[in-house]
Structure 1
């Protein structure tokens, strides 16, 4: 059941009605959310819920153990057990075949026998997001950053809450589980803003992302040899916009949906294509993941509090593993390492020259050049991210730099959506908020009509087949 489906609108309406009918009573309202979350996930396949249940059970017992023990060795052992078991589930179901293929390639020539048949394990939807959120909760409990010990039911609901379960954002405890005890409230304005975020998400997904994907990105990346260099370049730019508007659309709908139940999720994007360097880009793109990697990987490795060479190594490790998180293919690690290497260059440059001032005429010039360089790097490295293999990415790069001209295969609709994407991305956030204020002031029936028109009419207007969210594959 996708957020942009008619099924979800009915599901959300029913869940919303039951939740607020019981909102004054903690366990009945949480029970509604649990049943809704289990049903929502079961619409794909129910069996991974057993896996999630088991993983949560192990983590919950470990939390109980190290909260009650004063012995550092025992606490660290339980934390290690929790982390290893949680990552073990992720590695088994997501990376087992990647590790097997790698072992075959490396050990086969040496005469060592390695299983050649795929394991064929089905990757549960949302496993990566479940894993990172589960780890953050356990580690925060270990660090003492969460004062209360929650019940197993609350722990499980925190992980399975349907708005963020399958594609994020990665929600911290302070934004969800620590609010379970509070009697929720929802004003008319808050409800209107939640609906506004849902409407914006639907528009991003159905109007912009799907048109760019099916109208240009898929055909060009499928057969780059059939297109000119100019068309390949436009397709690479279009893919970056497709990915942003697709993923940020899901985040918008998740944030808006959570708001309808009285929960406030943190923002997950902040106009990333306006970044003037790669550090700035990752502070704006998939913010919940960037913050997770910073707080639970980069800083525990020593961050930049160690020697400069070690700080650069920590950065490469973080970016490489962050890239591999996106998929069971070494090309994702290469993509992450490419970003890491360029961030290392930037950091060394800052160490040598110092960070440039942010004011003055030269600052404007530097910002402009930085923006061009950053956007170019993001677009070009995304070719590896989008291509089905490194060999295919190589073909795309060869075609891209061949120098052939002509844009006959870029339709007027695609050009229009690229223009809409670019303009909306640079539009000041104040206008976005003013549009939200206008939506809030609309009568409730008018808001409902707007949502229905956006959710059901856009696909007909654009004549584009509805597509799944891109990040579901991760």
Structure 2
């Protein structure tokens, strides 16, 4: 049940009605959300629910143990066990096959016997987001930034809350679980803003992202040798915008749906393609992941508090591991490593010349263009089936084959819309949301119906899953 489907809309309406009918009773509203979240995930695939149930049980016992023991060494042992068990879960389901394939490639030619049969383990949907959120809670309890007094059912709902369970954003305990015992409230104005946010997410996903994906990205990346060089470049740029509008659209829907139940999720994107350098890009892109990597990996490695060579090592380590988080394929590690090198160069430049307090327009423009170019070129590795296919795509881009006839007017229009709506000030969205809220309810209803009809007319016929669903 994808969150841009009609089934999801009906599901949310039903849960919304039940939730607010009993919202003053703690156990009743908790039961509504927990049953709804379990059902939502089971529609995708029920078996991983057992894995998640075991994982939450283990983490909950470890959290309670940290609250009861006074020895710092014992608390450290418990949080380490939690981190290791969660990473072990991720490694077993997501990376075991990659390790087997790598071992076969490296050791089989040397005569070392290696298992040749695939493990064929089914990757649970949303496992990567689950693991990172699980680690954030237990580590925050260890650091004293989160309470260990939550019940098992609160812990379970925190991990399975349906608006974010499939593809994030990664939500800290202080942003969700800490509010479970508060009696929720929802004003008409807050509900209107939530509906507007959901509508924006649907347009991003179903109109801009899906049209770019089906209109140019999929066919060109599927057979780059059939297309001209300029068409390959357009496809790479289009995929860069498809990925943004696809994932930020999902995040908008998740944030809007959570708001309908009285919860505030963190923002996940801040117009990343306007970044003036690669470091700023990562502060604007998938912010819940970037801040997680900063707080739970980069800073524990020493962050900026160590020598300059060690800082560069830390940046590279974080980006390579962050790349592998996206998929069990060494091309993601390559993608992360390139970003790590770019971050290292950017950091060295700052050490050498310092940060300008007010850079001029030419410098800003050059920085934005260079950053966007790096992002587009590395997206090819991200999108290609493998490194060989990525190399073929790069070769076709640089081959100088003329022609651009395969880029349709609709694709050009969507690219223009993608650039425009990405570049406009955020105030435009705020003002638009305010205007929507101030409309009479019948006018709002008509506007949403017309929006739905327009989406149906412009979007792709087939239902395309979210790109980040695979992660």
Instruction: Give the alignment's TM-score, normalised by structure 2.
Output: 0.98
User: What is the match of residue 472 of structure 1?
Assistant: 469
Q: 1:34 to 1:445 in 2, by over 3 A?
A: farther
1:81-131, Cα deviation, whole Å (9 max, x unpaired): 111111111111111100100111111122111111110000111000000
Tell me what 1:411 maps to. 408
In 2, the alpha carbon distance for the partners of 1:141 and 1:237 equals 42
- For residues 134-160 of structure 1, give each alpha carbon's deviation from its aligned partner in whole angstroms, at most 9, with x where no partner exists: 000000001111135111100010010
1:297 aligns with 2:297: yes
The residue that corresponds to 1:323 in the other structure is: 323
Q: 1:365 matched to which residue of 2? A: 362
Q: Match of 1:43, SS?
A: helix
Match of 1:221 in 2: 221
Match for residue 431 of structure 2 among 430, 434, 442? 434
Aligned partners of 1:397 and 1:302: how far apart in 2? Answer: 37
Q: Cα offset for 1:180?
A: 0.6
Matches within 5 A, 1:37-116: 37-116=37-116
CA apart distance, 1:248: 0.2
Over residues 419-452 of structure 1, what are the superposed CA-to-partner deviations in whole Å (9 max), with x where a residue is unaligned? Answer: 0000000111111111001111122333334334
Q: 1:399 aligns with which of 373, 396, 400?
A: 396
CA distances 1:196-241 after superposition (whole Å, capped 9, x unpaired): 0000000111110000000000000000000011000000000000
Unaligned stretches of 5+ residues in structure 1: none
Contact 2:83 2:135 in 1 (8 A): yes
Query: CA 1:316–1:10 in 2, change beyond 3 Å: closer, same or farther?
Result: same
**Contact between 1:276 and 1:370, CA under 8 Å: does it hold in 2?**
yes
Report the CA distance shift for 1:456/1:52 in structure 2 as closer, same or farther (over 3 A).
farther
Name structure 2 gaps, 5 residues minimum: none
RMSD of aligned C-alpha atoms?
1.1
**Is 1:420 aligned to residue 417 of structure 2?**
yes
1:356: how far off?
A: 2.2
1:259/1:178 CA distance change after superposition, 3 Å: same
Query: What corresponds to 1:179 in structure 2?
Result: 179
How many residues are aligned here? Answer: 471
1:257-296 equivalent positions in 2, closer than 5 A: 257-296=257-296
SS of the equivalent of 2:11 reads helix
Deviations along 1:314-370, whole A, 9 cap, x unmatched?
A: 0000000000000010100110110000110111111112122325xxx22111100
Compute the displacement of 1:306 (Å): 0.4
Deviating above 4 A after TM superposition, structure 1's stretches of 4 or more consecutive aligned residues are: none
CA gap 1:468/1:303 in 2 versus in 1, 3 angstroms: same
The question of 1:339 aligning with 2:339 is answered yes
Please list the CA deviations of residues 374-409 of structure 1 after superposition, one character each: whole Å capped at 9, or x if unmatched: 000000000000000000000000000111221100
Kept in 2, the 8 Å contact 1:211–1:464? The answer is no
Residue 239 of structure 1 aligns to a residue in which SS?
helix
Question: Relative to 1, partners in 2 of residues 1:449 and 1:91: Cα closer, same or farther, differing over 3 Å?
Answer: farther
Match of 1:375 in 2: 372
Give 1:459's match in structure 2, choosing from 453, 456, 459. 456
User: 2:445 & 2:48 partners in 1: Cα distance?
Assistant: 35
| Whole-angstrom CA distance in 1 between matches of 2:250 and 2:343 | 28
| Partner residue, 1:248 | 248
Q: Is the 8 A contact 2:59 2:82 kept in 1?
A: yes
SS of corresponding position for 2:421? helix
- Give a deviation string over 1:159-211, Cα, whole Å, max 9, x none: 10000000000011121100011110000000000000000000111110000
Q: Label 1:43 to 1:445 Cα distance change in 2 as closer, same or farther (>3 A).
A: farther
- The whole-number CA distance in structure 2 between the counterparts of 1:79 and 1:15 is 35
Check whether the contact 1:4–1:455 (CA below 8 A) recurs between aligned residues: no
Q: Which moved more, 1:463-472 or 1:331-340?
A: 463-472
